Amino acid sequence: MNATEAKTPRPVMGLYDKPMWESINAKAMRLQRCRTCRTWLYPPGPACPRCLSCELEWAPVSGRGRVVSWVVFHRQYLPAYPPPYNAISVRLEEGPCMISNLEGAMPDEESIGRAVRLVYATMPDGMVLPRFVLDGT
């Protein structure tokens, strides 16, 4: 099986994750935000980790962030991901850190701290993934 036939690993769909993946599919990613103290949550959860409020709303993210760190996989763990491929950690402007991939270039020594912006990648099997490109590209 080659990567174009392999199924993209499905997201873990916990109780709170569905609205986020629906917004990703619509290419307008939303995350939870606390109505009380305005803290953003990722991954989605039941309560605000800052003030414990359960009054959460779904709000669109700016799509801007900075690379916190990166890794290049040289071993194949998943059929859809033949090595080498990268994974990056991005600190969103809104606060949360998320794991994604850098498109367009492999990350290197200069990548950490670089500004990135959100793009939506459609995988060979049709699944939409939030990914990032270096800002200004």
Partner 1 sequence: MSDGRQLKDRIAIVGVGNTRYGNFPDTDDYGLGAHAFRSAIEDCGLAKDRIDGLLTCRVPYYARMGEILGLNPRWTAAMPAHGRMSGMAIIEAAAALDAGLCDYAALIYANIGRSRRVNYGGDESPGIWDPWGFTSPGAAHALMFQRHRALFGTSTRQLAEVSVAFRHHACLNPDAVMKQPITIDDHEAARPITEPLRLLDFCLINDGAVCIIMTTKERAKDLKKRPVMISGIGAREAYGTASIPNFDLNFWYDQMRDVGTQVYGMAGVAPADVDAFMCYDNFSPTVLFSLEGLGFCGQGEAGSFVEGGALKVGGRLPTNTDGGHLSNSYMQGWALNVEAVRQIRGECGARQVKDAEVVQYAGATPCCRSIIYTPG
- Show contacts with partner 1 in window 44-83 (CB under 8 A): 45-50, 52, 54
Nearest in space to 24 (alpha carbons), one of 116, 100, 82: 100
Question: Which is nearer to partner 1, 16 or 85 (by Cβ)?
Answer: 16
Count of residues that interact with partner 1, criterion CB under 8 A: 11
> x/- contact string, 10-49, with partner 1 (CB under 8 A)?
----xxx----------------------------xxxxx
Q: Please tell me the distance from the alpha carbon of residue 66 to that of residue 89, in angstroms, as a whole number.
A: 9
- Our finding on whether 126 is near partner 1 (CB under 8 A) is no
Smallest gap from Cβ 101 to partner 1, in A, equals 23
Do residues 20 and 30 touch, judged by C-beta distance below 8 A? yes
Contacts (Cβ under 8 Å, ≥6 apart) of 64: 92, 93, 115, 116, 117, 118, 135
Query: Which residues make up the interface to partner 1 (CB under 8 A)?
Result: 14-16, 45-50, 52, 54
